[in-house]
A = this chain, B = another copy of it.
Amino acid sequence: MKYRRILDAAVEVIAERGYFHSPVNAIARRAGVADGTIYLYFKSKDEVLRAAIDMAFDQFSRQMEEAFETLRGPREQLEYIAQAHMDRHASMAIHMQREVRPFLGESSQRHLAKYIEMVREVIRRGQQEGVFRRDMSDEVVAHFMFGVMDELLSSAVFAGLEGEDMAGQVVDVLFRGIGA
């Protein structure tokens, strides 16, 4: 379906060139549709971006919720989040909201907030279960986690860190750091 083709093309093109260097016609070309067609499915270019980010986060959320039904321990859950975040394709759109936070407004905030909230819950439960230290703000820890993952992800592109098991190292440091 074209709706999806456009979204995927947008993610690809924007990931390569950045949002503001990605003219609508470039997205259209990549999607194999005419420029005007995009406006049959989306109200504006911003809307395409918004939808792409929405899609990525929603998918991410769903993936987590599903996994958490069988993965119950805080440690396992954090590990899973890190692993999933590191998966390049899924997270490219998540990463995109960086470039775009200043003007995408509450939509962008909302998704990030949801990601953060998800992590906070894991942390809080870990704290209740006595697995994690209690002397730390769960909010700070959650941003902490998101920040590391996102930076490693984007640096990987430039710095050639692709080989390393980054998610593993991150979780390892984090656990020691916040473990009780």
**A residues bordering B, Cβ < 8 Å?**
16-21, 98-103, 109, 112, 136-137, 139-141, 143-144, 146-152, 154-155, 158-159, 161, 164, 166, 169-170, 172-179
* A152/B140 in contact, CB under 8 A: yes
Ordered by A's residue number, 5 sampled pairs between the chains whose C-beta atoms are within 8 Å are A99-B99, A140-B152, A143-B155, A173-B174, A174-B177
Q: How far is the CA of A122 from the CA of B152 in the complex (A)?
A: 19
What is the CB-to-nearest-CB distance from A162 to chain B, in angstroms, rounded to a whole number? Answer: 12
- Given the interface pairs A102-B21, A103-B18, the reply to whether A166 lies near B149 with Cβ below 8 Å is no
Could you tell me if B151 and A169 are in contact, using CB atoms closer than 8 angstroms? no
**What secondary structure prevails in chain A residues at the interface with B?**
helix
CB distance from A43 to the nearest CB of B (A): 16
B-chain residues with CB within 8 Å of residue A139 when the two chains form the complex: 159, 161
A143 engages B151 (CB within 8 Å): yes
> Which of B99, B101, B148, B175 interacts with A148 by CB under 8 Å?
B148
Q: How far is the CB of A69 from chain B (nearest CB, A)?
A: 29
